[in-house]
Chains A and B, each alone.
Chain A
Amino acid sequence: MFSLDRWQEIFQTIAKNKLRTFLSGFTIALGIFIFIILFGFGNGLKNTFKEEFLDDATNSIRIFAGKTSKPYKGFKSNRRIEFKNSDIEDIKLNFPFYLEYITPRINRFSISSYKNESNNYSTQGVAPSHQYFEKTIMMKGRYLNENDVKNKTKNAVIGRLVALDLFKQEDPIGKYISLAGVAFKVIGVFQDEGGDNEERIIFLPYTTRQLLEKSNDKIDQILVSFKPELGLKIALIFEKKLRLFLKNKKSIDPTDSKGIYIRNIAQAANQNEQFASVLQYIVAFVGLGTLIAGIIGISNIMVFVVKERTKELGVRKALGATPRSVIAMILQESIFITALSGSIGMLIAIVILQNLGDTLDKFFIRNPYVDISTAIFSTFILIIFGAIAGYIPAKRAASIKPIVALRDE
C-alpha cells in the first residue's frame, strides 16, 4: 500500500533525526560491507589455490626420470634412467583399463626468430594428446595431429605471447619461424589460463624433436591420464602399478625412492580441494558471525530508537494514531534505512573488491570477488532481521497506553 503522505511523514522523521538515522544506517552498511569484503577475500584465497591446478587436467600423472640411488641386478647405483618411445607403447599395452591419454614431452629451450624478432622460448616436443593435459585452447589454426607425429613434420603450434612477441600484428599462420636454425611452419596459435609463462611455449611433434637430435628415441617426461570415472582411490592403485611396472622394466630396485619420480596431480588437487573447502567453511563462519553482529547492532539501535520515541508515539496515539499505524511507521522507516544503507554498503564493498584484482596477490588473495546473488541475499537477510528487530520494540511501544507514555518523568 503506497501512500505519499506516509512517505513524506517518514522522510521528515528521517531528515530531522540525522544522528539516529546515521547510527542505524552506518551499522547496517558496515555489517554488510565487512561481510562482503571478508567473503570476497575468502573467495580470493580459494582462487589462489584453485588456479594452481586450473590450467592442467587434474586426472593426470606425470612421470620423470632421475638417477638411481641403489645398485640392482648387476647395475651400479647412480645410473641415469631414460625413457624411450617403447615405454609409451608398453604403458598403452599394459594399462588399457586405466589409461585415457598418454603423451611424451621433450623440453628444450631454443632461440626462435621471425624476421628481425627473436627470443628464447621453451619448445616442447609432444604428441597430439598433450593438448588435453595442459588444457590448451586453440585461438587460430590447429593443434598437432597424428600425421605430424608419424611424418615428423616441421610444424609448430605457438603460444599467444610468442605470436605477439614475434609477429606483432601479423597473422602467424602459414609463416615460417626459425627454431635454433631450423625452419618450422606455424600451424596454430593457442592460449592457456595458466598465466604468461604457459603462453610463451612452442609445441612441436616429439618425433621431429627426436629427428633433430640425431634420430634418437629418448623422452624426458611421460604424461599419463587415467579415466576420470575411476576416482582417486583407483588412480592411486594405477600410480602404484605404473611405478612397479616401470621400475621392473628399467631394472630399478623396488625399494629405491629415486630413479623414477611420479607426481600424481589428482592427489595434489584433491588435497587442495579439501583445503579450499575448509577455507570456505571458515569464511562462511566468519561471514555469518559478521552478519549476526550486524543484526545485534541494528536490534540495539531499534530498541534505543523506540525507547527514545516513546513519548512521541504516546502523543501520536493521543492524537488518533492506531497501534497499527505506529508499528507501520517505525517498520517502514527502519526498512527504508536498512535497505538504503545496506545497498550502499554492499555496492561500496563490491566496487572495492572489483578494483582490488591482483593487488593482494602476495597475501595469497587473487581476484577476490563475491557473486551478486550472495551479496543481495545477505543484504536481504539483514533487512529482514532489521525489520524483525524493529518490529518487536515497535509493537511493544504501540501497545503502551498513551497515558503511560505521556506521564511526566
Chain B
Amino acid sequence: MIKIENLHKSYKMGNNTLHVLKGIDFKVDQGELVAIMGSSGSGKSTLLNIVGMLDLLDEGQYTLDDVIIKDLDETKAARYRNKFLGFVFQSFNLINYKTALENVSLPLYYQGIKRKERQEIALSYLEKVGLKEWATHLPSELSGGQKQRVAIARAMAARPKVLLADEPTGALDTTTSFEVMDLIQKINEEGKTILVVTHEEDIAKMCKRIVRLKDGVIVEDKNVEQVLASKYV
C-alpha cells in the first residue's frame, strides 16, 4: 500500500540545514495498523506529513497504492489527499462554525458529491462512531473525545486508502484515549490501513506493528502482539 525508498528530508533554518529524515526505507501493506514512535525531533511527524502529502520529499521515492507520488503541485496534492488519504489530528481541526454533520461531509463536498447524498454518507459515518444524535451540534458543544470521533468520521467519510493519525490521543485523557483507539482498531479490523504517530507506549502497543525512529532513521521495526483497547473501555 505504502512504499518509501531512501527518503531524505531537510529543513532550512536560516543558514543551517536541519537534516530531519536521513534515508528511510519503509513499507506498509494493506490492512496494517502501524505505530510510528520516537521522541520529539526524531522525524516521525515529518514522515507522516510526507506520507500525507502535506509536505514534499527532497530525495527518494514514495509510492501510494501503486501510484508514484512525485512532481506534486498543490492542486495535484489536494486531489491525491482527497482520493487516498484521511487525516486525524491531535487538535482535531474541526471547523468551528460547522456542525458535526457538516464537518464530516466536507471532504465529500470536495469530492463533488451531491448535497443530499453527502449528508446521508456523513450521517452513516457519524453513526459508526456513535455520534448520530450529535449530528447537529457544533464542535464547541462536544467533548474532546467526541470531537476526535467526529474527526475520525470525517477522515473515514472520504473512503480513503490510508488513515493517517498524528497523535490522535495527544489531547485526550487516558479513558478517552482508549475509546478512540478502540474505534481505530475497529476501523482497522474492517481492512483499513492506518498509520498512527504517537509517543505513548500503551497507545503504540494497541497497534500491530511499531516503527521506531531516532534522529531521522528507523532504529526498530517489529510486529507486536496487539493489545485490544476494548479491554480498558
B is bound to A: yes
Say yes or no: is A324 at the interface (Cβ < 8 Å to chain B).
Answer: yes
Say yes or no: is B158 at the interface (Cβ < 8 Å to chain A).
Answer: yes
Closest to A325 in B: B110
Say yes or no: is B21 at the interface (Cβ < 8 Å to chain A).
Answer: no
A322 near B75 with CB under 8 A, answer: yes
Counted as pairs of residues, one from A and one from B, with CB atoms less than 8 Å apart, the total is 69
Give A16 to B78 CA distance when docked, in angstroms. 26
Give A401 to B50 CA distance when docked, in angstroms. 12
Given contacts A17-B97, A402-B54, contact A317 B109 (CB under 8 A): no
B78 near A321 with CB under 8 A, answer: yes
Please name all residues of chain A whose beta carbon is closer than 8 Å to the beta carbon of B192 when the two chains form the complex: none
Given contacts A16-B97, A17-B97, A318-B81, contact A403 B75 (CB under 8 A): no
Give A324 to B89 CA distance when docked, in angstroms. 24
A394, chain B: closest CB distance, angstroms: 14
Total count of chain A residues near the partner, CB < 8 A: 28
B192, chain A: closest CB distance, angstroms: 17
A320 near B74 with CB under 8 A, answer: no
Closest to B82 in A: A320
Closest to B78 in A: A322
Quick check: which of A131-139, A308-316, A347-355 contacts chain B, the rest being far away? A308-316
Say yes or no: is B55 at the interface (Cβ < 8 Å to chain A).
Answer: yes
Given contacts A316-B106, A318-B87, A402-B54, contact A323 B78 (CB under 8 A): yes
Give A9 to B106 CA distance when docked, in angstroms. 10
Q: Which of A9, A312, A318, A402 has its CB near the most chain B CB atoms (within 10 A)? A: A318
Given contacts A17-B97, A399-B74, A406-B93, contact A319 B54 (CB under 8 A): no
Contact with A along B89-111 (1 / 0, CB 8 A): 11101110110001000110111
A401 near B55 with CB under 8 A, answer: yes
Say yes or no: is B186 at the interface (Cβ < 8 Å to chain A).
Answer: no
Say yes or no: is B61 at the interface (Cβ < 8 Å to chain A).
Answer: no
Please name all residues of chain A whose beta carbon is closer than 8 Å to the beta carbon of B161 when the two chains form the complex: none
A38, chain B: closest CB distance, angstroms: 37
Give A325 to B81 CA distance when docked, in angstroms. 15
B107 near A320 with CB under 8 A, answer: yes
Say yes or no: is B42 at the interface (Cβ < 8 Å to chain A).
Answer: no
Give A229 to B50 CA distance when docked, in angstroms. 82
Given contacts A5-B115, A9-B109, A401-B55, contact A320 B97 (CB under 8 A): no
A71, chain B: closest CB distance, angstroms: 95
Contact with A along B149-188 (1 / 0, CB 8 A): 0000010001000000000000000000000000000000
Partner pick for A322 among B79, B95, B106, B154, CB 8 A cutoff: B79
B89 near A319 with CB under 8 A, answer: no
B5, chain A: closest CB distance, angstroms: 22
Q: Given A9-B109, A318-B87, list of 19 further CB < 8 A pairs? A: A5-B115, A12-B98, A16-B97, A311-B93, A317-B74, A317-B81, A318-B52, A318-B54, A319-B106, A319-B107, A319-B110, A319-B154, A319-B158, A320-B79, A320-B82, A320-B158, A401-B54, A402-B54, A406-B54
Show 25 residue pairs from A and B whose CB-CB distance is below 8 angstroms, ordered by the A residue. Answer: A5-B109, A5-B114, A5-B115, A12-B98, A16-B97, A17-B97, A311-B93, A315-B94, A316-B110, A317-B74, A317-B78, A318-B81, A318-B87, A318-B93, A319-B106, A319-B110, A320-B78, A320-B79, A320-B81, A322-B75, A398-B74, A399-B74, A401-B54, A403-B54, A406-B89
What 7 pairs between A and B have smallest CB-CB spacing? A320-B82, A16-B97, A320-B110, A403-B54, A319-B107, A322-B78, A322-B75
